[in-house]
Amino acid sequence: MPTIGVLTLELHLPDSHSLKDKRSVVKGLKDRLRHRFNVSVAEIGGQDTWQRSVIAAVTVSHERPHAEKVLQTVENDAANFLGGVLVDSGVEWID
């Protein structure tokens, strides 16, 4: 049975003064994570606010340890890319 892992990243973008400003940061992060780690990525919260966003990255694997490693690497890369903009993260599992 496959394991599905969902990493949720909460962002606070204090320098964003429009949806266009926010969109450039969010799009850059989503594209980066998709291409580097082959995960599915979507903005799942805060779409109508300028300074807040919730991003989900999802991976599917036949082994949970592999999925854990992928999502940990994604989280570390996102934290490095975003700096202090990443304010919270969490992982949920569907086994």
Q: For residue 1, what pLDDT is reported?
A: 83
Backbone angles phi, psi at 7, to 5 degrees: -100, 125
pLDDT digits (tens, 9 = 90+) for 14-62: 999 999 999 999 999 999 999 999 999 999 999 999 999 999 999 999 9
Find the distance separating the first CA and the last CA of the chain, reported in whole Å.
7
95 domain residue, yes or no = no
**Token pair listed for 48:** 């109508």
Helix axes 64-82, 19-37, angle to 10 degrees: 140
Q: Is residue 93 part of a domain?
A: no
Structural domain that includes position 75 = 3-87
- Number of structural domains (the chain) is 1
Residue 94: inside a domain:
no
Residue 63 placed within a domain: yes
- Residue 28 inside a domain? The answer is yes
In-domain check, residue 81 = yes
Q: What's the pLDDT score for residue 26? A: 96
Helices marked H in the chain: 19-37, 64-82
Long-range contacts of residues 14-18, Cβ cutoff 8 Å, at least 24 apart: 14/51, 16/50, 16/51, 17/50, 18/50
Q: What CATH number corresponds to the domain at position 47?
A: 3.30.70.1120
pLDDT, position 37: 98
Residues 6 or more apart whose CB falls under 8 angstroms from that of 24 comprise: none
Judge whether 9 lies within some domain: yes
Confidence of residue 11 (pLDDT cuts 50, 70, 90): very high
Does any domain span residue 92? Answer: no
